[in-house]
Chains A and B, each alone.
Chain A
Amino acid sequence: MQILYENILELFKGDGWKYVIMWIIGGLLIFLAIKKEMEPTLLLPLGFGTIMVNLPFSGAIGAEGPLTTLFNAGIANELFPLILFIGIGAMIDFGPVLSNPKLMIFGAAAQFGIFFTFCLASMFFELPDAASIGIIGAADGPTAIVVAQKLNSQFVGPIMVAAYSYMALVPIIQPPVIRLMTTKKERMIRMPYKPQSISKATRILFPIIITIIAGLVAPSSVALVGFLMFGNLIRECGVLDSLSETAQKVLANLVTIFLGITIAVKMEASQFLQPTTLLILGLGLFAFVFDTAGGVLFAKFLNLFLKEKINPMIGAAGISAFPMSGRVVHKMGLEEDPQNFLLMQSIGVNVSGQIASVIAGGLILSFAAGFGGFLG
């Protein structure tokens, strides 16, 4: 009875109201996960974890708390997101990209939002924090966690919420931006799909080559790219079917459960309820918008020189939110012209966006060594 009295008293004194706000935020995340099916695998554990860590004198956190122990064991050292990458790699079929490699260029262009947002955020935040905020534009939760954690950002909680919420909101965020950047005539451009057969050797060599090239250009990206490509190699090698299946289902699900609830350690009221959180959410949205715009504008730029025009909408699929972004573009194409099938092209761009966003994350980590050069 005494404990109950002390806990209730804690809610009514000083910053006690912040606990209640965090319960509401946790409840909202659970609501969005269940009712709106927005990234439920992450937002539901994150929402519940938010409530757990924001109870007065919570035993879930602190030196002896299991969530803090899990955080130190799996997120502080970036282990959970990297292991999750094995599962994601095992799920991805790089076939559409291997069949039409030139589509990869749009995956590169659509990373513009990451770097542009990094620059904008640097006006308000220290460079490591600004870089971590920019990476929200990767539309890739595990990459965002790895970068933010490695750069020791104090805003991991808001960055996670922004990254996963906006990923789920891709069907709402992207269409207006695409419409704004393109004309009806451009959206109606048809792109005939010419599938090519891909040999097994190509499928096996591709993840190995990507790891080597990305590793040579940005050594910091080896862990990110390597784990993703290792998962894909397990899938494509043809002799590890049971491992591939385990990585895609059991491993990915298991890590996701721990990842969501453990990241809630960074959702403590004292850290989350700051004016900076709103700014981070705003900048995250900005990153998504400029990723989309970057991809579309690059496709329009290429059209100036191409005889066979590209539908500029496929440039918007170059973000990592797979397969939502590819589907959004395909659906928009069908809305303009019921005979305009862009699915294979947009999925190809979407897959290359996944590769490019991981490389972008690695590049940002490589750049971090030079952040100390700023003497302002």
Chain B
Amino acid sequence: MNFNFDRFLFSLQYMWQGMLCIFIVIGVLILSIYGLNKATNYFANKKANKDKND
């Protein structure tokens, strides 16, 4: 253990990079889930309509 303020300044880049990456990944995941929900609902409705017509 040794006190080093330069190391703190160097590590700051990882804080903003880390938070940015997390928000990007989670943002993509949110969009993916919305897309998945929409797609599966669309196909489910389509199938239900087809069954109804049959």
Contact = CB atoms under 8 A, between A and B. Distances in A.
Interface string B26-44: 1111101110110011011
Which one of B5, B12, B33 has the highest number of Cβ atoms from chain A below 10 Å of its Cβ?
A: B33
Contact of A123 (B7, B27, B32): B7
A359 B18 CA distance: 10
Interface string A104-128: 1101110110111011101111110
Interface string A176-219: 00000000000000000000101101100110011001100110
A213 B32 contact: yes
Contacts, number: 127
A: interface residue count bin: 35 or more
Nearest to A213: B28
Interface stretch (A51-59, A95-103, A160-168, A326-334): A95-103
A108 B22 contact: yes
Majority SS of interface residues in chain B?
helix
A304 to B, nearest CB: 17
Given A115-B19, A118-B15, A98 B8 contact: no
A374 B29 contact: no
A152 interface: no
B49 interface: no
Contacts of A114: 18
A376 interface: yes
Contacts of A325: none
B53 interface: no
24 contacts: A101-B30, A101-B34, A104-B29, A108-B23, A108-B26, A111-B18, A116-B15, A119-B11, A119-B12, A122-B10, A123-B5, A123-B8, A124-B2, A126-B7, A130-B11, A209-B29, A213-B32, A217-B21, A218-B21, A355-B26, A359-B26, A370-B14, A374-B10, A376-B10
Interface of B: 1-8, 10-12, 14-15, 17-19, 21-30, 32-34, 36-37, 40-41, 43-44
Q: Which 10 A-B pairs have the closest CB atoms?
A: A199-B40, A101-B33, A122-B11, A108-B26, A376-B6, A115-B15, A115-B18, A123-B8, A108-B22, A101-B30
